[in-house]
A and B are shown apart, each in its own frame.
Chain A
Amino acid sequence: MKYELVSGLETHVELSTKTKIFCSCSTKFGGEPNTHCCPVCLGFPGTLPKLNKKVVEYAIMAGLATNCEISNISKMDRKNYCYPDLPKAYQISQFDMPLCKNGYIDLSNGRRIRINRIHIEEDAGKLVHQGGNTYVDYNRGGVPLIEIVTEPDFRSSDEVREYVEKLQLTMKFIGVSDCKMQEGSMRCDVNISVRPVGSEEYGTRTEIKNMNSITFMTKAIDYEYTRQIDVLENGGKITQETLRYNESDGTTSSMRNKEDADDYRYFRDPDLVNIHVTDEEVEAIRRALPELPEVKRVRYISQFGLPEADALQLTKSRAIAEFFEAASDGVKNPKTVANCIIGQIFRRMENDDAKEKFEVSIPASYLKDLVLLLDSGKIRMNLLKSTLDQMLDSGKPATEFLSESDLSGVDTGDLKKFCEDAVAANPNAVADYRAGKEKALKALLGSVMKASRGRADALEVERILIELIS
């Protein structure tokens, strides 16, 4: 029998607010244990939580960026469970009235992943297990999270990968989270089941919690998919359970089974009042959202005529896109700007992280001024490239490196002279060209370029050279 994967995702994203969700403690990552804590985030009796306005705003931004409806009225609930990472023995979350619902993200294969809801909640503390004891650090306790819950719409681990990458890019682009999986500011719980192709019913699902790497997540899904099919093919039954993914050997193993289903006894948190958002407020937030990476990508292709690969690279982060847009504003051919960024500026970035941050030694306007010199015919491409390198080395504008004579281009008479010299100095290349080796022309061209210090127009030089030696 042929089976298909049915998978859904719950993604926790830490919001990049300065303070926690219900108190004014810092959300800064790291720091000595239990130094970002107060009676509110430690749940001392008699304390009163007060909702951070920015959390609501960021969550609405996240909702709008993933095509969600924003609820006019939502509320906070208590999710009760007893574990040392939660000093109050309940987590403040949203149960039946989440802030955002019914969104979606479209994948490149045309399939739509429906988002059931996005709700706001507090993160738990961090536990370090050592020698049978558990050490508790509550710095992370109370850091604001959004949980983005999809419908079971994934049919392959590749779709999961694309969705998570897209979500990550979008959240970073709109500036609500840094989505660093390795630091835990983005993590996923994955539900996995299989069913015969064509079946409408869902199989029994298992859940893998707290995945913080896309690579391991796709591996875990592929492993679990194969494991479940094996069980079914051998006449067995899938147990509904929570699994752990073992990174060392790529297998999954049981953490606890779900027969004794969680009973969180949700109820409204009486300390917190309703969140009422008007349509006008939602529209104001929508208007303030930056253009999303996907929209930019399409626009770069249609409006600027960029190849898809370039458009993709330039929309990897908001910093890159904004630099590109500022530098290509008013230039004839934005592709030149794209080439400068992708070819020369990216090469100076140490890694993907640095690329994303895109801290460039020159402002975008310097690059734009340089490209405008090319547009107006004052300089040629190779001079542009060498000048850009000097600019990037020094942080100075183009005018620092281009002399009057550089900017005046090459006089036609001089150019002819350069070409004649090149022909005279390279008899072998001339002979080769005459014998039918067209490549030999490159040697002559190079010689002319050198003589003109890169200022000559290569096409023009080729034309003159061919005229001279044909």
Chain B
Amino acid sequence: MVTHEDVLKIARLSKLQIREDELEAFTKDMDEIINFANTINQAAVESSDFDHINRLENVFREDVVEPSLPSEEILRNAESQEDGYFLVKKRG
């Protein structure tokens, strides 16, 4: 059973603000989501090993340098930048 505290904690971790009057609705929604996801636990499987879905393993690359992107490309979508750095501006 999901509690109000669970929802508040997840909201905090996700940097979301939830109003007091929204809390009950979110708690109910989340409980339903968890219950829905829980149906997977009822599946009859032989092994409890949680392997990769494609049964792939050891996908590696060799240690060989390839060109990086030009920094103009890297910074192109940045909201703000200065001297080649991403800039995180002071808040408030």
Q: Kindly state whether residue B68 has any CB partner on chain A within 8 Å.
A: yes
| Chain A residues with a Cβ closer than 8 Å to the other chain, count | 42
Q: Which of B10-68 contact A (CB under 8 A)?
A: 13, 15, 50-54, 56-66, 68
Pairwise interchain contact A37-B68, C-beta atoms closer than 8 A: yes
Bound-state CA distance A42–B50 (Å) is 28
Residues of A within 8 Å of B9, CB to CB, are: 263
Interface flags for A24-66 (1: CB within 8 Å of B; 0: not) read 1110000011111111001000000011111010000000000
Pairwise interchain contact A24-B64, C-beta atoms closer than 8 A: yes
Bound-state CA distance A424–B89 (Å) is 89
Residue pairs across A and B with Cβ atoms less than 8 A apart, 30 shown, are A18-B64, A19-B66, A24-B64, A24-B65, A25-B66, A33-B71, A33-B83, A34-B75, A37-B68, A37-B69, A38-B69, A38-B74, A39-B69, A51-B59, A51-B60, A53-B60, A53-B62, A54-B63, A82-B15, A128-B85, A133-B89, A135-B82, A263-B9, A270-B52, A273-B56, A273-B57, A275-B57, A275-B58, A276-B57, A276-B58
Interface size range of chain B in the complex: 20 to 34
Interface on B for A, CB 8 Å cutoff? Answer: 9, 13, 15, 50-54, 56-66, 68-69, 71, 74-75, 82-90
Bound-state CA distance A385–B90 (Å) is 65
Q: Kindly state whether residue A416 has any CB partner on chain B within 8 Å.
A: no
Set B56, B64, B87, B90: member contacting A19, Cβ < 8 A: B64
Set A42, A53, A275: member contacting B74, Cβ < 8 A: A42
Pairwise interchain contact B60-A265, C-beta atoms closer than 8 A: no
Known contacts A56-B60, A134-B88, then 17 further A-B pairs from the complex at CB < 8 Å, ordered by chain A residue: A18-B64, A18-B65, A19-B61, A19-B64, A19-B65, A25-B66, A33-B84, A37-B69, A52-B62, A84-B88, A132-B90, A133-B88, A136-B86, A136-B87, A137-B84, A273-B56, A274-B57
Q: Kindly state whether residue A17 has any CB partner on chain B within 8 Å.
A: yes
Pairwise interchain contact B58-A34, C-beta atoms closer than 8 A: no
Q: Which 3 A-B pairs have the closest CB atoms?
A: A132-B90, A24-B66, A135-B85
Q: What residue of chain B has the Cβ atom nearest to residue A126's Cβ?
A: B85
Q: Kindly state whether residue A268 has any CB partner on chain B within 8 Å.
A: yes
Q: Kindly state whether residue A418 has any CB partner on chain B within 8 Å.
A: no
Q: What residue of chain A has the Cβ atom nearest to residue B77's Cβ?
A: A44
Bound-state CA distance A428–B67 (Å) is 79
Bound-state CA distance A35–B84 (Å) is 9
The secondary structure that dominates the A interface is: loop
Interface on A for B, CB 8 Å cutoff? Answer: 17-19, 24-26, 32-39, 42, 50-54, 56, 80, 82, 84, 128, 131-138, 263, 265, 268, 270, 272-276
Set B52, B65, B86: member contacting A25, Cβ < 8 A: B65
Pairwise interchain contact A34-B85, C-beta atoms closer than 8 A: yes
Q: What residue of chain B has the Cβ atom nearest to residue A27's Cβ?
A: B65
Residues of A within 8 Å of B50, CB to CB, are: 268
Bound-state CA distance A234–B37 (Å) is 52
Query: Chain B's nearest CB lies how many Å from the CB of A47?
Result: 12
Centre residue among A34, A35, A52, A134 by max chain B CB count within 10 A: A34
Query: Chain B's nearest CB lies how many Å from the CB of A401?
Result: 45
Bound-state CA distance A19–B68 (Å) is 11
Q: What residue of chain A has the Cβ atom nearest to residue B84's Cβ?
A: A33
Residues of A within 8 Å of B56, CB to CB, are: 273-274
Query: Chain A's nearest CB lies how many Å from the CB of B8?
Result: 12
Pairwise interchain contact B63-A18, C-beta atoms closer than 8 A: yes
Pairwise interchain contact B61-A53, C-beta atoms closer than 8 A: yes
Residues of B within 8 Å of A80, CB to CB, are: 13
Residues of A within 8 Å of B65, CB to CB, are: 18-19, 24-26
Q: What residue of chain B has the Cβ atom nearest to residue A53's Cβ?
A: B60
Also in contact, A52 and B63, with CB within 8 A (given A33-B83, A263-B9): yes
Set A39, A53, A138, A268: member contacting B86, Cβ < 8 A: A138
Residues of A within 8 Å of B84, CB to CB, are: 32-35, 137
Bound-state CA distance A42–B86 (Å) is 12
Bound-state CA distance A39–B83 (Å) is 20
Also in contact, A53 and B63, with CB within 8 A (given A34-B85, A133-B88): yes
Q: What residue of chain A has the Cβ atom nearest to residue B85's Cβ?
A: A135
Set B61, B69, B85, B90: member contacting A52, Cβ < 8 A: B61
Residues of A within 8 Å of B85, CB to CB, are: 33-34, 128, 135-137
Set A25, A50, A270: member contacting B60, Cβ < 8 A: A50
Residues of A within 8 Å of B66, CB to CB, are: 19, 24-25
Q: What residue of chain A has the Cβ atom nearest to residue B53's Cβ?
A: A270
